[in-house]
Amino acid sequence: MEDVVVLDQVSKFYKDFKLDRISFSVKKGFIHGLIGRNGAGKTSTIKLLMNLIKPDEGSIRIFGLDNREHGKEIRQRIGFVYADNHYYEDLTVEKMKRVIASFYHNWDEQAYRRYLGMFDLPADKKIKHLSKGMKMKYSIALALSHHAELIIMDEPTSGLDPVVRREILELMSEIIQDENKTVLFSTHITSDLEQVADYITFIHDGHIQFSLTKDEVMEKYTLVKGRTDLLDPDTRKPFIGLRETPVGFEGLSDNPKLVFELFGNQAIYERPSLEDIMVYTIKFNHHAR
Amino acid sequence: MFNILYKEFVVQRTVILAYAVVAILFITQLIRVDGPMAVISMLAMFFTFGTAAYEDKNNSHVLLNSLPVARKEIVTAKYVFHIAFGICLVGLTFIYRTIIGALPKDAAMWQYVIAVTVIVWFVSVFFPMYFWLGPRFVQIGMIVLLIVMFTAVPMVYNLGVKHNFWGIPDFIQSLPRFLLFVFATAVTIVFLIVSRLISVRLYERKQF
Q: Write out the DSSP string of A135-188.
A: HHHHHHHHHHTT--SEEEEESTTTT--HHHHHHHHHHHHHHTTSTT-EEEEEES
Q: b/e per residue, B127-150, with b = 16+ CB within 10 A?
A: bbbbbeeeeebbeebbeebeeebe
For residue B10, give the nearest of A50, A75, A99 by CB distance: A99
Say whether B3 and A86 touch across the interface (CB within 8 A).
Answer: no
The answer to whether A165 and A90 are in contact (CB under 8 A) is no
For the segment B159-180, what is each residue's pLDDT rounded down to a tens digit? 888 888 788 877 777 878 778 8
List the single residue in B with minimal CA-CA distance to A105.
B68
In angstroms, the CA A148 to CA A151 distance is: 7
Backbone angles phi and psi of A45, in degrees to 5:
-60, -45
With H, G, I as helix, E, B as strand and everything else as coil, classify residue A53. coil
Among A33-47, A171-185, A265-279, B167-181, the least confident range:
B167-181
One domain for residues A177 and A274: no
Q: Is A86 at the interface with chain B, CB within 8 A?
A: yes
One domain for residues A181 and A255: no
One domain for residues A205 and A160: yes
**Among A217, A246, A279, which residue terminates a domain?**
A217
In angstroms, the CA B208 to CA B61 distance is: 7
Q: Considering only CA atoms, which of B126, B112, B9, B37 is closest in space to residue B79?
A: B126
Q: Is A6 at the interface with chain B, CB within 8 A?
A: no
One domain for residues A44 and A141: yes
Domain that holds residue A226: 221-287
pTM (2 d.p.): 0.85
One domain for residues A135 and A51: yes
In angstroms, the CA B36 to CA B204 distance is: 38
Say whether B68 and A104 touch across the interface (CB within 8 A).
Answer: yes
pLDDT, position A269: 93
What is the side-by-side strand order in the sheet with A65-66?
Answer: A18-27, A3-13, A57-62, A65-66
Backbone angles phi and psi of A280, in degrees to 5:
-70, -35
pLDDT, position A160: 83
Domain count within chain B: 1
In angstroms, the CA B117 to CA B110 distance is: 10
- Number of neighbours of residue A134 by Cβ within 10 angstroms: 18
One domain for residues A210 and A123: yes
One domain for residues A43 and A177: yes
Q: Does position A261 have pLDDT exceeding 60, yes or no?
A: yes
The answer to whether B112 and B90 are in contact (CB under 8 A) is yes
Q: Considering only CA atoms, which of A197, A189, A245, A234 is closest in space to residue A217?
A: A197
In angstroms, the CA B20 to CA B15 distance is: 9
Q: Which residues pair with A152 in a beta bridge?
A: A80, A184
For the segment A23-45, what is each residue's pLDDT rounded down to a tens digit? 999 999 999 999 988 888 999 99
pLDDT, position B106: 58
For the segment A107-116, what is each residue's pLDDT rounded down to a tens digit? 999 999 999 9
- The CATH code of the domain that includes A186 is 3.40.50.300
List of chain A residues whose C-beta atoms are within 8 Å of the C-beta of residue B69 = 72, 75, 103
* Mean pLDDT to the nearest integer, A184-189: 90
Q: Is A123 at the interface with chain B, CB within 8 A?
A: no
One domain for residues A174 and A102: yes
Say whether A52 and B62 touch across the interface (CB within 8 A).
Answer: yes
Q: Considering only CA atoms, which of A111, A102, A58, A40 is closest in space to residue A76?
A: A102
Q: How far is CA A6 from CA A41, A63, A213, A215, B142, in A?
A: 17, 9, 16, 21, 45
One domain for residues A254 and A189: no
One domain for residues A189 and A258: no
pLDDT band with cut points at 50, 70 and 90 for residue A268: very high
Q: Does position A289 have pLDDT exceeding 60, yes or no?
A: no
**Among A217, A234, A265, which residue terminates a domain?**
A217
pLDDT, position B155: 82
The answer to whether B78 and B207 are in contact (CB under 8 A) is no
Q: Considering only CA atoms, which of A85, A274, A137, A279 is closest in space to residue A192?
A: A274
- The interface residues of chain A toward chain B in range 25-84, judged by CB-CB distance below 8 A, are 47, 50-54, 71-73, 75-76, 80, 82, 84
- Number of neighbours of residue B101 by Cβ within 10 angstroms: 6
For residue A95, give the nearest of B10, B62, B67 by CB distance: B10
Say whether A72 and B3 touch across the interface (CB within 8 A).
Answer: no
Cβ pairs bridging A and B (under 8 Å): 59
One domain for residues A249 and A275: yes
Domain that holds residue B174: 2-205
DSSP string, B37-89: HHHHHHHHHHHHHHHHHHHHHHTHHHHHHHSS--HHHHHHHHHHHHHHHHHHH
For residue B63, give the nearest of A86, A95, A98 by CB distance: A86
Q: Can you list the residues of chain B whose pLDDT is less than 70?
A: 101-108
pLDDT, position A288: 47
With H, G, I as helix, E, B as strand and everything else as coil, classify residue A251. strand
ipTM: 0.86
Q: Considering only CA atoms, which of A254, A259, A252 is closest in space to residue A285?
A: A252
Interface test with A, best of B9, B55, B61, B63 (most A CBs within 10 A): B63
With H, G, I as helix, E, B as strand and everything else as coil, classify residue B176. coil
**Among A167, A192, A217, which residue terminates a domain?**
A217
Domain count within chain A: 2
One domain for residues A74 and A36: yes
For the segment A242-254, what is each residue's pLDDT rounded down to a tens digit? 998 888 999 999 9
